[in-house]
Amino acid sequence: MPDQDQMRVQQRILADFGEFALRSNDLDEVLTEACRLVGEALGTDLAKVIEIESAERTLFVRAGVGWETGVVGHVRLPMGERSSETYSVEQGTPIVTPNIGQEDRFDFPAFMVNAGVCGAVNVPIFLPGGKPYGLLQVDSRTTWQPDEQTIEFLRTYSTILGPVIDRLDKIHALGRAEARNETLLRELQHRVKNNIGAITGLLHMRLRKVQSDEVRDELRVVAERIEALRLVHELVYAAKGTDRLPLRTYVTQLIEGVLALHRETPVQLDTCIDDVDVSTDTAIPLGLILNEFATNSLKHAFKDESGCLRIDARQREDRLWVRIGDNGKGLPTEKSASRPGTGTGMALITGLSRQIGAKLEWTSDNGTALCLEFQY
């Protein structure tokens, strides 16, 4: 008759291990706890999980309890013909050695002999799909002939271990792939940022040499638009893995850069922007819209006089309301539906607003203002 108390202990151990495996994503921690619990269930001193390293045809002592320092995480064994571990995996069944000193089928490693191992049981561990992962090996310092109930317990234990190991391996593989992709993305962002910076630098060099005021103005407009793109990539790179940017920082840096290119017009920047983040898909067109408005204001609204540019942004549930305005001369009364400046600039603002699904509203009251509201 089966030992009822022993069965209850083994059932509790299986439940305890299952709960622990669900709480932890650390494979070494899970395997070590598996060794500890199986020793508690069977009253043995030593246990280990051995992992097959297929490329090298070796067996790696991945986890264990009761062993001297230098065994777990260090020892590798050859998958030889006289290896009890290799034989157990090939047969796909537990292999019992009651006394390794009297066993003539297999050779046993020195670290087991030195630890005083007498009885040993190898139980193969298979991943879902039948691929062998390795073995659960339970060792005793006394002669050990486990009964059928104990063997079934160990088979059940290894059957649970397989899917647990598979899950954790996949989690770690996904983590490594995500880290690798993040590194590649950050490298790409860094290169794009540097390339855009180089283009901006070339434009500024050309600006200093060009003689025509008209050409200089056009080059400066292009440089400002490229600067908006460069700033987005710089902030994305600094964000380390996220594709969202702090709106307040982005807008402030962007427009301050525009003002720096128009030092001949003494204009102050005031901002009141909620602490919100926007995606890069929104930041680029929104930045170009604000850049275009600021550039046209500096060119047309102040006539080299002092003035003020103000930007407000408010979060309204899942929508964002943005207003940029100046206190310059305002819109021409004969054509209040459009903004003074180049046709290209107006077409750009209109097209970019459609890109983010923004509703545009121009006003002219103590200056010119542009309001946008859109989902973000």
DSSP assignments along 202-231, one per residue: HHHHHHHH---HHHHHHHHHHHHHHHHHHH
**Pairing between β-strand 307-316 and β-strand 267-273 as defined by DSSP bridges:** parallel
pLDDT score at 337: 40
Q: If phi over 0 gives left and psi between -120 and 50 gives alpha, with beta otherwise, what is residue 304?
A: left
The set of residues, in sequence order, having a beta carbon less than 8 Å from that of 159 and lying 6+ positions away, is 126
Strand pairing partners for 310?
A: 270, 325
Report pLDDT digits (tens) over 249-263.
Answer: 999 988 998 888 777
pLDDT score at 305: 74
The set of residues, in sequence order, having a beta carbon less than 8 Å from that of 258 and lying 6+ positions away, is 224, 227, 291, 294, 295, 298
- Distance from CA of residue 170 to its chain's centroid? 15
pLDDT score at 272: 96
User: CA–CA separation, 259 vs 255, rounded Å?
Assistant: 6
Query: Which stretches within the chain are classed as H helix?
Result: 4-23, 27-42, 84-91, 110-114, 148-209, 213-239, 247-260, 280-300, 343-355
pLDDT score at 340: 44
Residue range 167-192: mean pLDDT, rounded: 79
pLDDT score at 331: 63
Residue 243, phi then psi, degrees to nearest 5: -105, 20
pLDDT score at 332: 58
Report pLDDT digits (tens) over 112-136.
Answer: 999 999 999 999 999 999 999 999 9
Report the alpha-carbon angle 201-280-189, nearest 5. Answer: 50
pLDDT score at 49: 97
Cβ count within 10 A of residue 74? 11
The band of 167, judged by pLDDT with boundaries at 50, 70 and 90, is very high
Q: Which domains does the chain have, with CATH numbers?
A: 4-174 (3.30.450.40), 243-375 (3.30.565.10)
pLDDT score at 236: 67
**Greatest extent of the chain over all pairs of C-alpha atoms, in Å:** 108
Residue 13 token pair: 């151990």
How buried is residue 201: exposed, middle or buried, by Cβ count under 10 Å (0-12/13-18/19+)?
Answer: exposed
Report pLDDT digits (tens) over 73-82.
Answer: 999 999 988 9
Q: Write down the pTM of the prediction.
A: 0.57
Report pLDDT digits (tens) over 28-40.
Answer: 999 999 999 999 9
The band of 241, judged by pLDDT with boundaries at 50, 70 and 90, is low
Pick from 334, 346, 335, 344: nearest CA to 370: 346
Mean pLDDT of the chain: 86
Who wins on pLDDT, 257 or 3? 257
